[in-house]
Amino acid sequence: MGKRVIVCGGGTGGHIFPALSIANALKRLEPGIEILYVGALGRMEMEKVPEAGYKIIGLPVMGLKRKLTLQNIKVLINLFKSLRMAKRILNEFKPDVVVGVGGYASGPMGKVAAKGGVPLLLQEQNSYAGVTNKLLGKRASKICVAYDGMERFFPADKIVKTGNPVRKDLLEALEHKSEAIEYYGLDPQKKTLLITGGSLGAGTINSAIEHSLSKIAEWSDVQVLWQCGGYYYEELKERVADKLPGNVKLMPFLKRMDYAYAVADLVVARAGASTISELCLLGKAAILVPSPNVAEDHQTKNAMALVNKGAAVMVKDSDADKMLCSRVEEIIDNDKMLLSLRSEIKKLAFMDSDEVIAKEVLALIK
């Protein structure tokens, strides 16, 4: 019988993307390996994982509501169902290793694996560990992290610093800058500011840019790629119709994120773990606006890990309206600062994290 691995977790792109990267790296290193994905029903992975060519089973697990509600009774019932299902999956698939990437489905699957004596490897993307990974940490055989200081959350002897996996297409993009300029219809003589709030967009960043459009219109040597998110696009387009300057391209989402990065001289973005890994690998100067709507305010902690090393600039979400545009002006006109931010952030990059993690997974197979 060939080697078998279960990969579990998800809920957001930030969890699913690393999970699929690790699965792909395992396939490259060990072509005969069998991989089963275990996700949470109704979450993003149920669609993305089959698209990537992997079989997925969904557990009915869901998150606890923070306040006391009857909904939490349903959450607990679903948790018991999920634990039973996870146990059955473990007995039928008989994995050699279980890989948990955080998110709802990681909990039940990781728990039954550890209890059943199957080696468990966790991958923690953030500088502040997620709830599921913290709960499973003591039982894991190995924990792959991207930041220093993670022994606050996990047993030090189990931690391996591997960085976060990044999409391969992004790394190749930098060589295609002229194609990218043409693709987005930009002027090669001007500097490009890329504004992105992730695939869903970011209300605060959009609002700060909207309120600064008259100022942005005066930037003669800067052009702006503004990805506002599908959720905000129609309403925003209507509101700014008569005041959108010629040097700003407003889009719901960026079909070619690799090209967007390739043209960017400065990036304004949220501080999710995968965004930060991409910025580090590509060596991009960035202003980070951490999302306040995430567990334990972990995006601020992610951003500060860079700010403390002079590798990025941070603007608090609550200050974005007043400060974001002037910070952009300060930095984008200052070639010395751009250069310094690029070289410092590049130092924090990890190459081939997906393969490094995959090798740790294979090493756990007895």
Mean pLDDT by 10 residues, the chain (366 residues): 91 83 95 96 91 94 72 87 96 97 92 96 91 93 93 96 85 86 94 84 86 88 91 88 89 90 95 90 94 83 93 94 93 95 93 94 92
For residue 125, what is the enclosing H or E element? Answer: none
Cα 91 to Cα 61: distance, rounded to the nearest angstrom: 19
Can you spell out the DSSP letters for 81-110?
HHHHHHHHHHHHH--SEEEE-SSTTHHHHH
Cα 113 to Cα 122: distance, rounded to the nearest angstrom: 12
Residue the block writes with tokens 């991989």: 35
Torsion (CA) 17, 200, 178, 171 in degrees, nearest 10: -20
Cα 5 to Cα 365: distance, rounded to the nearest angstrom: 9
- β-strand partners of 59: 40
Describe the crossing of helices 106-115 and 71-93 by its angle, rounded to 10 degrees.
50
Cα 304 to Cα 147: distance, rounded to the nearest angstrom: 11
pLDDT computed for residue 137 by the predictor: 95
pLDDT computed for residue 66 by the predictor: 65
pLDDT computed for residue 366 by the predictor: 72
pLDDT computed for residue 266 by the predictor: 96
Structure tokens at 107: 């909990």
Cα 55 to Cα 46: distance, rounded to the nearest angstrom: 10
Cα 349 to Cα 328: distance, rounded to the nearest angstrom: 24
By residue count, the chain amounts to 366
pLDDT computed for residue 54 by the predictor: 96
Amino acid at 61: V
Q: Going by DSSP bridges, is the β-strand pair 4-8/34-40 parallel, antiparallel, or unpaired?
A: parallel
- β-strand partners of 267: 194, 286
Are the C-beta atoms of 221 and 191 separated by less than 8 Å? Answer: yes
pLDDT computed for residue 186 by the predictor: 94
pTM: 0.83
